[in-house]
Amino acid sequence: MAAPRHGAGDTGSRYPQKWSPAKRVTFEWRGLPEDARPDRATSIGDVLGKLLPKLGLDVRIREADITAAWVGIVGEFIAKHSQPERLVAGTLMIRVIQPSVRYELDRTWKPQIIAKLREQFGEKVIRDIKFIL
């Protein structure tokens, strides 16, 4: 069987008969029909939602949120003597200025601080806290 000819008057099966001459030329030039590309536009929120975890920045954003809310969570006095430093696998590391403050926060205030952090940020984000010098 001979291959179909695509001459001047022959449209063949390369493109539908209903296509305009302009669309046929575009098809030949690009190699694809004009409407073959779907709309690939996505919102910046969707892109960032996928990108931040891959870059490890979602944890950094949570750390910044916790630091910004620290005074409201623990009060002004404790905030002057401590500062959230980093979040590692659900454990918030809190830097304190001296051993006596560490002892007091660890023995007396730890359950209350954890409860307030979990209330504001969720149990999956904050599982434990550790006070470090």
pLDDT tens, per residue, the chain with 133 residues: 444 445 445 545 566 778 888 887 877 777 655 555 566 777 888 888 888 778 878 788 888 888 899 999 889 998 999 999 998 888 999 999 999 999 999 999 999 999 999 998 888 888 999 999 9
* Six-digit token string for 3: 């291959």
Rounded distance between C-alpha atoms, residue 88 and residue 44, angstroms: 27
Q: Is residue 128 part of a domain?
A: yes
Question: Does some domain include residue 92?
Answer: yes
CATH label of the domain that carries residue 85: 3.30.300.180
Task: Determine the pLDDT at residue 14.
Answer: 66
Range of the domain at 98: 57-132
How would you class 19 by CB atoms within 10 Å of its CB: exposed for 0-12, middle for 13-18, buried for 19 or more?
Answer: middle
- Tell me if 22 is assigned to some domain: no
- 62 in any annotated domain: yes
Tell me the whole-structure pTM to 2 decimals.
0.59
Residue 64 in any domain: the answer is: yes
- Say if 43 falls within a structural domain: no
Q: Which two tokens stand for residue 18?
A: 């209903």
Query: How many structural domains does the chain have?
Result: 1
Domain-located, residue 76: yes
Specify if 39 maps to a domain: no
Token pair for 1: 């069987």
